[in-house]
Chains A and B, each alone.
Chain A
Amino acid sequence: MIDRLTAALQGSRADFTEIRVETSWSSAVSVRGRRLESATASEDQGGFVRALNRGCGWGTASFTSLDQLEAMVVRADELSRAVRLDRPIRLAPVPPQQAEAILDLDGDVRGVPLADKKRLIEAYNGAMLAVSDRIVDTLATYRDEVSEYWYVNSEGTVLHELRPEVTLSGTAVARRDGTIEKGLESIGLRRGWNAVQHEAAGFRAAAERAVGLLEASSVQGGAYPVVLDPELAGVFIHEAFGHLSEADFVYENPQAREMMTLGRRFGKKVLNVGDNGAAPGLRGTLPFDDEGTPTQDSALIREGLLVGRLHSRETAAAMNERPTGNARAISFRHPPIVRMTNTYIGNGRGTFDDLIKDIKLGVYACSAFGGQTLLENFSFTAAYGHMIRDGAVAELVKDVVLAGNLFQTLDRIDHIAGDFRWNQMGGGCGKAGQYPLPVTEGAPHVRIEEALIGGDVPA
């Protein structure tokens, strides 16, 4: 394959050309309620060519038929030439890389019969159903993938990788009369079959939570001191801050650049944030990004001050900064764009109890159903929450929606505990039609002095 790709590169007239080819084997088994929803094994393959000429824009071509490779190299060059630019696109230099990276397959999922995968996920689904007869519906999904990946560019980079991934997810729906509640479990690992053999407890906990929420009342909307658990804190930093640190948002927008000036204060001294694509063993981890740039640990906020951002080669050149290895594509169907990898809030000091001991009335918001940011505004739906009363965790509450302004909220983070953990969840990040990109988030417990909790808004 490498020979074929390097030969195709030689056929390009463009000043810069890169080719990615991927073949992926995946299987998925879903069980809903007491029956199998589907069990499939799929094979997907295709390629992506990107070309750039001086004074011109990007030309791209993606295709599922590899017979078309040479024709697509020509097409990408033509498309680049059709885009005339007054200010040229430059690429920050990255030394040519040659690597053969076979990640630990940890029990190659391709060798495991589909029937075994079905048995595994049925057992986890059964763990949810067994919790209560109030569990009226469940959905448990096992999914795995191994993709073989080749990347070459006209500067001499040649990469060949084998990338595994396995994800489990569970949804338990509990119902009592007209009340319907959900509990979620999600695990995502860049590992294989061996890594997912002992996960029943998480599925059981999701079902127990759904049943528990049937008895919970909605949180009363209003402003509270709020403590985020590590999972929600991780989702929060990814959504609310991480996306702003992606340089494709700022690099050609003068007002955005001003808003994101390095050195600007974003929070108190306790706040440290980064993105680490090289952290060992995580789902967002890869040796290189999809432009052949080595991944790294990038500091974004240090002691409350903005110190860095995430780059592709193009955005780095435009801002006279260095590429950070954050140009990623979800598959050969898409161009690489600036994305996060494993985004984290750095560890603080003390325990969870230290965070809540002086809160008279507050909310402990846990786990995430989802989150969305529209730049400076965000909204996160916690999977569940507890009231904090007189320094202690009190009753379970539901419909905990955390909403606010990013700048104000980051600035109100006043205490970060020393109990950091990575949240190895499934799902993924979406941007510009590319979803789901494997990412991980990590954080300790985080306290926000005051934040708006939606939910039962008094009319």
Chain B
Amino acid sequence: MIDGLLELARHRVEGGGGADALERRVERTSIAFEWGRLKAAGVTQEGGVNLRVLHRGRVGIAGTTNVGVGDAAAQHAAPLLERALASAELGEEVALVFPAPAKLPRLVTHVARAADASLERLIQIGQGLLERLAREGCQVNVAIEREVAETRVANTAGAQGTYRSTGVALSADLWRIAGDDVLAIGDALEGCDLPADDALDGVVRSITTRLDHALHIVAPPEGALPVVFTPTGLSAVLLPVTQGLSGKAVVQGISPLGNRVGEQVFHAGLSLTDDPLASGRTASRPLDDECVPSRVTCLVQGGVVQRFVYDLETAARAKTESTGHGQRGIFGKPVPAYTNIVLGETGNVKREAWNGLGGGLLRDITDGLLVDELIGVGQGNVIAGAFSHPVALAYRVERGEITGRVKDAAVAGNAYDLLKRIGGFGSDARWAGSRYAPSVLLEGVAVARR
């Protein structure tokens, strides 16, 4: 639909304007095992078009799920364009430049085995996982969702790209309720392909290991202590940094990192990269949703801030180039968004290797914590860096070993300060959603009891 739509738009926009559009069709198949048994199976079919016009120097946006195919599609194009033009009448002036055609990187985003997997195959994977996680006194939920999508983006400058993609997301949670003690331990996998056996083994091992250590409850320590944040536990510390590295926050003048490019802001071992080309990841794609070819963006290198991520509009406002981070849905305008964030000790992102919780960082800790999940991450004034969260799942570490689970404790600090005091990176780097990171030891984290 969008080629005809852009052709129509080309003739209507005035003042040296243009247009770009995204069309996406998605089919999802999902199964849910609830409290230990398969309860539901579902499909979702969704299609939509998002159109942006630059008309008399102003930007207008319109979206619709009312797309149809063939002649029906042509019928829907005209009203969509009218809405976008009407939106541009009110729109703000932006010196938006639609990118010219460019060579796209080669990238596998579609795996036939995942696209073609039958419902029975998905059920079999879930059933297998459920059986391996079954434990006396515990309840297990497993959900699997497989997505097959086709995306086309194009603009009136002639740039365009079409790609098919697959994604399989699997999550498992184990619940144990003993009196008023509620324990929930979960893990998730996500990728373009069906999960491999060793990845499923990893989920089972990760959940059962954390459960075994959690059965014994110990008193929390107190004070400024060494705390190991697991790859999932890191969110509270990384969220302010990723918010601060967004070009949008920089343009708004609310990023504490906004004027610090080239400065040593973090520990010299810290590197952060956004990688839209990472193999097998669902966030990877050959081009962004605004026709900018994907490329790796180094955000922080050796603790020094390198650059921010931009989409076309924020780049235009910041008088710089888009880094290829435009992301758009069917409704609303594109926004800058990360793809795959990779955290690594400079030049040394270690291979996934299991050597217990904490990735080898617990050895030298006399008294401290291992934090796997916090409550309330993302609330409050995140970008300023200060956080204070009760633990959802955390363990006490004494003389190099986990001695039990702690409840009724909170950790607090400022992410920008703590990331100057990195005590080490674990050898347990793994994907947690679209972030690849090892466990990280931070020194002097405030731990409070209640």
Contact = CB atoms under 8 A, between A and B. Distances in A.
B104 interface: no
B42 A61 contact: yes
Interface stretch (B62-70, B155-163, B212-220, B431-439): B62-70
Contacts of A179: 384
A236 interface: no
A255 to B, nearest CB: 4
B35 interface: yes
Interface string B174-192: 0111111110100000000
B68 A399 contact: no
Interface string A102-140: 000000000000110010000000000000000011000
Interface stretch (B278-286, B347-355, B374-382): B374-382
Given A221-B412, A403-B450, A85 B38 contact: yes
B35 A399 contact: no
Nearest to B333: A38
B424 interface: no
A401 B380 contact: yes
Contacts of A65: 45, 47, 67-68
Interface in B296-341: 331-333
B379 to A, nearest CB: 3
Nearest to A26: B331
B61 A46 contact: no
Interface stretch (A12-20, A28-36, A152-160, A185-193): A28-36
The interface centre, meaning the residue of A41, A45, A89, A333 with most chain B CB atoms within 10 A of its CB, is: A41
A178 interface: yes
A405 B407 CA distance: 9
B45 A452 contact: no
B34 interface: yes
Given A40-B87, A42-B62, A57 B177 contact: no
A37 B317 CA distance: 12
A85 B60 CA distance: 51
B202 interface: no
B423 interface: no
Contacts of A180: 254, 256, 381, 383-384
Interface stretch (A354-362, A375-383, A438-446): A375-383
B196 interface: no
A454 interface: yes
A255 B375 CA distance: 23
Contacts of B39: 57-58, 83, 85, 89
A459 B446 contact: yes
A123 B389 CA distance: 37
A126 B338 CA distance: 32
A175 interface: yes
A41 B87 contact: yes
A57 B180 contact: no
B40 A59 contact: yes
B41 A40 contact: no
A18 to B, nearest CB: 14
A85 B139 CA distance: 17
Contacts of B78: none
Nearest to B83: A41
Nearest to B255: A180
A51 to B, nearest CB: 10
Contacts of A255: 137, 139, 175-178
B149 interface: no
A428 to B, nearest CB: 15
A83 B127 CA distance: 12
Interface in B201-232: 223-224
B182 A375 contact: yes
Contacts of B175: 253, 255-256
B199 interface: no
Given A82-B41, A85-B38, A403-B410, A136 B253 contact: yes
A386 interface: no
A279 interface: no
B386 A399 contact: yes
Contacts of B87: 38-41, 114
A252 interface: yes
A39 B40 contact: no
Interface string A370-392: 11111111111100000000000
A14 to B, nearest CB: 13
Given A39-B91, A60-B40, A181-B381, A401 B388 contact: yes
A420 interface: no
Contact of B450 (A79, A136, A404): A404
B177 A333 contact: no
Nearest to A213: B381
Contacts of B14: none
A457 B332 CA distance: 40
A63 interface: yes
A435 interface: no
A353 interface: no
Given A58-B41, A452-B410, A173 B254 contact: yes
Contacts of B254: 136-137, 173, 175, 180
A60 B446 contact: no
A154 B289 CA distance: 42
Given A57-B39, A59-B42, A381-B380, A40 B332 contact: yes
A80 to B, nearest CB: 8
A62 interface: yes
Given A40-B63, A173-B254, A379-B389, A372 B376 contact: yes
A33 to B, nearest CB: 7
Contact of A45 (B66, B137, B378): B66
B92 A36 contact: yes
Contacts of B447: 457
B132 interface: no
Interface string B8-40: 000000000000000000000001001111111
Given A58-B40, A68-B45, A256-B177, A458 B62 contact: no
A40 B36 CA distance: 44
Given A182-B381, A374-B392, A46 B42 contact: no
Contacts of B181: 376
A218 B373 CA distance: 24
A381 B379 contact: yes
A180 B256 CA distance: 9
Given A376-B181, A405-B408, A43 B64 contact: yes
A376 B91 CA distance: 47
A2 interface: no
B334 to A, nearest CB: 10
A455 B223 CA distance: 14
Nearest to A52: B40
Contacts of B137: 255
A271 B446 CA distance: 35
Given A82-B119, A371-B376, A403-B390, A457 B40 contact: no
A372 B224 CA distance: 25
Contacts of B38: 57, 83-85
Given A79-B119, A335-B40, A64 B65 contact: yes
B40 A57 contact: yes
B375 A41 contact: no
Nearest to A452: B450
B48 interface: yes
A1 interface: no
A369 interface: yes
Contacts of B176: 255
Interface string B358-377: 00000000000000010111
6 contacts: A28-B332, A36-B92, A38-B332, A136-B254, A405-B180, A405-B407
Q: Lowest 10 A-B CB distances belong to which pairs?
A: A370-B379, A379-B376, A255-B177, A60-B42, A454-B388, A459-B224, A452-B450, A58-B40, A252-B35, A375-B182
Given A72-B43, A403-B376, 15 more contacts: A39-B90, A58-B41, A59-B41, A63-B46, A82-B120, A83-B38, A84-B38, A175-B253, A180-B383, A252-B36, A374-B375, A379-B376, A379-B389, A405-B408, A454-B410
